[in-house]
Structure 1
Amino acid sequence: MATSRSITLGSAVRRYPLVALTVVAGVVGLALNWTAASAVVPWLLSLYALAVAAREAVSMVGKLLKREFGLDVLAVTAIVATVVVGEYWASIVIVLMLTGGEALEDFAAGRAKRELNALLGRVPQTAHQVTASGDIADVPATEVAVGDRLVVRPSEIVPVDAVLVSAATSVDESSLTGESMPVEKVTGDLLLSGSVNGPEAVTVQASARASDSQYQRIVQLVTEAAASKAPIVRLADRYAVPFTFVSIGLAAIAWWISGDPVRFAEVLVVATPCPLLIAAPVAFMAGMSSASTYGVVVKNAGTLEVLARAKTVVFDKTGTLTSGRPVVVEVRPEGALSADELLALVAAAEQYSSHVLAASLVEAAKQRSLDLPEVADAREVATHGVQARVGARLVTVGKPAFVAQQAPALTRIDLASGEAAVYVSVDDQYAGAIVLRDAVRPEAARTLTELGELGIQNTLMLTGDVEETARKVADELHISEVHAECLPEDKVRLVHATSPHPVVMVGDGVNDAPVLGAADVGIAMGAKGSTAASESADVVILVDDLHRVVSAVQVSQRTVQIALQSIWIGIAISIGLMLFAMTGALPAVVGAALQEVVDLVTILNALRALSLKRRLRGSPRSTAERVQAPS
């Protein structure tokens, strides 16, 4: 345990050297203060504080030349003022507040990144290459050349764009195109990188290198979108310069009225910058911690600021507003069987299949509490269907052409856009069909309603799916503005053109990665979404629950409110002390002590953001739902 702690302390010292040096300087000063060398302490602490001030001043001048005004103006002024009036201990505290606030923000961002990396680390980065001798060797996907033969195993991500060599397969392209149903592929068809192979291992031939494949083109769009995003102005920076000018102005007035330059220092020494230097970062770090209890990872404090002001939310469809997986919406029996009897027979046969629709059929039977009859024998015909001996009956389930071989009387049913059907025969008789569709999430309507209550003025949908399917989902959720059949670049263009700002984009697929990076705030549904989407997003939801978007907005709004309260409390008390110091009744040493009281009050107020979970509606239903940070 001691070794673990020492390693953690050592890494912290290396990462935040100025914080460590400030602590060391303070400890050394305290130690020397009780020795014969106590006269050295004022010089040691003053020179160190001025050195830090000089370092900040260089950075400050560079920013001022770019017309950027921030906390460094206030910090440098406060450090120099305290040193000039001989309050070197106060100067060390201000240095610690400055460096500590920066370290807190950096630490919070680093913690969020570690939690996200734990989620994304499982994505494969290798390809299974077929060698000249027929063996299979694992190689980095970046080393695959055009023409190389690869094996893509069941449920694996296709590493590069490739042509299918095997007879057939079904792939999940929902993260790329927004199409929620599996897509059937036969020999010669193109498999896009980023799509997910079906239940059978297949052989493919690379048609492009990794750098030229669909996935990489989307990553390039992500990079360009992120580069185009305007930098965030920190909340505290907006108050730093006005507060500095007010402080210097009051100190100058006190000097002018009294004619005593000491009065200038007495006023300026209580102009504590702590509410801006550390209270706001503490509030944001606490808010990010509160968000994690909802399974929401916020990557940086600036995101909370922008999210709190959001006016427009844009949603992807598949996997975001919908569940991203097909569910049974209708059972249409033909003949003597009832709907439940037909579903039970189908689920009994399909429980031995690894096809994506099979899981939905079995789940539907479980939800209806149906008893599945025993299966004596079952065989799966890849991409066509399943045939099983259920009791004394021969049950065939699958595509219409496959089932029609057993039941020539089969008739196709009419389907709405976005729906799929499996057909069923029992012995040699057509028994009916089961309709599946990617259903709207049960929490979607409540999410949209509560976002409106939180001040979101505009909601719209962008999707790669066809117009008819997209419109049906939008009508169900009362979303008026829909853009369908969008390519990734179309989504980026539309988000840039959308108003009012700030604009939040919520998505989950690879095709959403560029627009998540382009939006003012990108929120990725990371529980089952793609790596590219989570990496480009500003916020990642680690549980499969769209309502956590509401939680993220609530936490951000409350955190910003607490941060502003802390800032204004600190500023109000400081100005009150400055007005009192203008009378000459507050010595500098007493002012420096009172300054630390102001610091304590503002920090304690900022820490209220840690308890947001208890204050907000829609808190996690159980401890089991919470996502714990990796230890």
Structure 2
Amino acid sequence: MRKQASPPTATGGGPGSLDAGEPAGSPVEKASGFLRRYPVVALTLLVLVASLVLVQFGLELQVRILASAYAAVIVVARAAGMVRSLREGRWGIDLLALMAIASTVAVGEYLAALVVILMLTGGEALENFAQGRAARELRSLLDRAPRFAHREESGAVLVDTPIGEVAPGDILVVRPSELVPVDGELLSDSATLDESSLTGESLPVERTRGQQLLSGAVNGVAAIRMRAAATAADSQYSRIIALVEEASNSRAPVVRMADRYAVPFTLLALAMAGTAWLLSGEPLRFAQVLVVATPCPLLIAAPVAFLAGTSQAAHKGIIIKNTRTLEQLAKAQSAVFDKTGTLTSGRPVLDEVRMAPGHGETLGSRKILQLAASAEQYSSHVLAASVIEAAQAAGLTLLPVQQATENATHGVEAVCDGQQVVVGKAGLVRSSSSGFREAAVHSGQLAVHVAVNGGYAGALIMKDPLRGNAVDTLERLRGLGVQNTMLLTGDAHATAAHIAEEAGIGRVQAECLPEDKVNTVAALAERPVLMVGDGVNDAPVLAAADVGIAMGAKGATAASESADVVIMLDDLSKVAQAVAIGKRTVAVALVSIWTGIGLSLVLMAIAMTGYIPAVAGALLQELVDLATILNGLRALHGADKKAGAGRKPGPRRLPAA
């Protein structure tokens, strides 16, 4: 029986899709949402307004009772949190604020006490708002998570099934503009998908029957059928969400450093307040100084900046797992790269067609490539796809194949348009042709030999080229302060040295096993060390480095699980962009921290003279809070500006590991 239910949309429709932190609708609904989220702020405003009204009617006693009672309730309620903070070593978090409330009540500044309470609770509300803006890119992944799948039952009946009940092997239908619910295999002839939320690639991608579909991709204009290959928990989208949640829940060393500033800040504030009281003989001065000494700017500045930084990174396809990593990125001195799939594309391309004298020259380079590509249609070798792509790029039409036999790992023999073609390794082609000669190749090249009708025709010279943006990326890293570079690979030394020379890398270590890579990175003296890799064999060294960066891993490999940074798009330039975001974020956080401290010290010094009444001081401190929040939000932008302008130092060689 078909279940009648509204299908989910591309924005993750279905129950629970509304973000509870962002009420929508009429002004009444928004007001009620504000009251639910910030009840203490709303109650404080109500008490403050009531007190102002009572003062106008000359009811001073009632104001004193109301304000004192409310302040006592707040102090008692916050005391438990203060004790917990003190146990965690976070001294000035609530202590100064509670002392300011108590002191203003004691000296009869009841309205000032209410303003301090409003400042304390309102500052937390402002922080919550700022964090909500900074983290919206991260939250959007969770908001869009698929919740239902259309499972095909017997008789082609579709049942809207909770995504958690989908099992591998289930046949699913994905309607136009819906999210792919789980990872699976495409059963339809073709599909057009938007994978921008997964990889950062803005252009639609084409998939054909039998290819993998990633959960979280948005289907195009035609409904498609697919076979589930994994449960929702084990699918692509869930892994990305796990990375995002890990990022949003972490705390950075700079945040803890801001906490440590609270200890001397609290002692200094108490000393200044006590001195003002001693010199003036007025207890009011003590309260006036403490009112402007509340450490809210210290608490708000760093978390807002770091959340803004992780949000900017996520928007650019860079998932930073924990905010500690941002500080490590900002201080990085060394960058170590894997070769295949990292500095190179990881997919060989045709470099040249080398014709054999006589028979090969008679056929011509285009004919040799056309015959080879036609035969390679029936090969499962990793180079077959590269040969076919080269022929298609040259505008060649693949010939019909009457017969084909693959010799596993050695090559393929086929009859293409009536001609006997052998393509593969030297051993296979030598035994099947006359006139064979070994092709001379340079470092980083390999030869695919071709024989036609029993005669040696020539070789297709393949190479795994350096990425087009590798040189610019390394130059930008040096401009960002990452002066030491190294290539670490399991490939032969000659090939690795050739790639390193092209890229401008200072040192090469080749023919490495995974444990060799770990030991080499651990021995580097210039730290923090970035390690950039993409394969399963890179997982141990990514975990061992100060910052492991998984390139193009799409959140689903062992490399991405071991790394601190996952670059969703297969783009090497994102490594330099991640470093730039780290430096920008830490700089903004530190400016915010010191701005908050500096402004508070200036206000305390003025308050010692008695020129800032307690109520005015509380309002001024609220402006300081707002300034630090707005400054922290600057980390949402600006990391794309060219870093290190004018600094183009040459590569430095790392000391021997």
- TM norm structure 2: 0.67
- The answer for the alignment partner of 2:618 in structure 1 is 592
Match of 2:42 among 5, 10, 27: 27
- The answer for the alignment partner of 1:218 in structure 2 is none
Instruction: Give the 5 Å matches for 1:441-456.
Output: 441-456=467-482
In 2, the alpha carbon distance for the partners of 1:250 and 1:600 equals 24
Match of 2:265 among 233, 243, 249: 243
What amino acid maps onto 1:79 in structure 2?
A: L
C-alpha change, 1:58 and 1:407, in structure 2 (3 Å) is same
SS at match of 2:429: helix
Maintained 8 Å contact 1:115/1:297: no
- The answer for the alignment partner of 1:512 in structure 2 is 538
In 1, the alpha carbon distance for the partners of 2:323 and 2:373 equals 49
Aligned length: 498
Maintained 8 Å contact 1:108/1:300: no
- The answer for the alignment partner of 2:585 in structure 1 is 559
Instruction: Give the 5 Å matches for 1:285-434.
Output: 285-334=307-356, 335-336=360-361, 337-367=363-393, 369-383=394-408, 384-416=410-442, 419-434=445-460
- The answer for the alignment partner of 1:264 in structure 2 is 286
Maintained 8 Å contact 1:340/1:370: no
Match of 2:574 among 524, 548, 553: 548
In 1, the alpha carbon distance for the partners of 2:83 and 2:35 equals 20
Maintained 8 Å contact 1:323/1:440: yes
2:103 maps to 1:84: yes
In 2, the alpha carbon distance for the partners of 1:105 and 1:563 equals 14
Instruction: Describe the superposition over 1:540-560 as per-residue Cα deviations: whole angstroms up to 9, x where unpaired.
Output: 111111111111111111222
Instruction: Describe the superposition over 1:142-194 as per-residue Cα deviations: whole angstroms up to 9, x where unpaired.
Output: xxxxxxxxxxxxx9xxxxxxxxxxxxxxxxxxxxxxxxxxxxxxxxxxxxxxx
What amino acid maps onto 1:271 in structure 2?
A: A
What amino acid maps onto 2:351 in structure 1?
A: V
C-alpha change, 1:61 and 1:463, in structure 2 (3 Å) is same
Maintained 8 Å contact 2:402/2:418: no
C-alpha change, 1:431 and 1:291, in structure 2 (3 Å) is same
Match of 2:495 among 455, 469, 473: 469
What amino acid maps onto 1:593 in structure 2?
A: L
In 2, the alpha carbon distance for the partners of 1:583 and 1:614 equals 46
Q: How far does residue 536 in structure 1 lie from its aligned partner after superposition?
A: 1.9
Q: How far does residue 513 in structure 1 lie from its aligned partner after superposition?
A: 1.7
In 1, the alpha carbon distance for the partners of 2:387 and 2:315 equals 34
In 1, the alpha carbon distance for the partners of 2:522 and 2:143 equals 29
In 2, the alpha carbon distance for the partners of 1:601 and 1:108 equals 16
C-alpha change, 1:490 and 1:85, in structure 2 (3 Å) is farther
In 2, the alpha carbon distance for the partners of 1:498 and 1:550 equals 20
Q: How far does residue 476 in structure 1 lie from its aligned partner after superposition?
A: 2.4
Q: How far does residue 497 in structure 1 lie from its aligned partner after superposition?
A: 1.9
SS at match of 1:386: strand
C-alpha change, 1:117 and 1:472, in structure 2 (3 Å) is farther
Maintained 8 Å contact 1:566/1:602: yes
2:290 maps to 1:254: no
Percent identical residues: 46
In 1, the alpha carbon distance for the partners of 2:534 and 2:494 equals 21
C-alpha change, 1:32 and 1:104, in structure 2 (3 Å) is closer
In 2, the alpha carbon distance for the partners of 1:392 and 1:458 equals 57
- The answer for the alignment partner of 2:92 in structure 1 is 73
Match of 2:303 among 248, 273, 281: 281
Maintained 8 Å contact 1:312/1:499: no
- The answer for the alignment partner of 1:232 in structure 2 is 253
C-alpha change, 1:576 and 1:233, in structure 2 (3 Å) is closer
C-alpha change, 1:327 and 1:537, in structure 2 (3 Å) is same
* Higher deviation after alignment, 411-420 or 473-482: 411-420
2:515 maps to 1:496: no
Maintained 8 Å contact 2:115/2:615: no
What amino acid maps onto 1:349 in structure 2?
A: A
What amino acid maps onto 2:253 in structure 1?
A: I
Unaligned runs of 5+ in 1: 12-18, 64-69, 120-136, 140-154, 156-229, 619-631
SS at match of 1:612: coil
Instruction: Give the 5 Å matches for 1:97-108.
Output: 97=123
Q: How far does residue 398 in structure 1 lie from its aligned partner after superposition?
A: 1.7
In 2, the alpha carbon distance for the partners of 1:266 and 1:96 equals 20
Unaligned runs of 5+ in 2: 1-12, 24-33, 55-61, 106-112, 146-166, 170-184, 186-250, 645-657
In 2, the alpha carbon distance for the partners of 1:339 and 1:333 equals 6
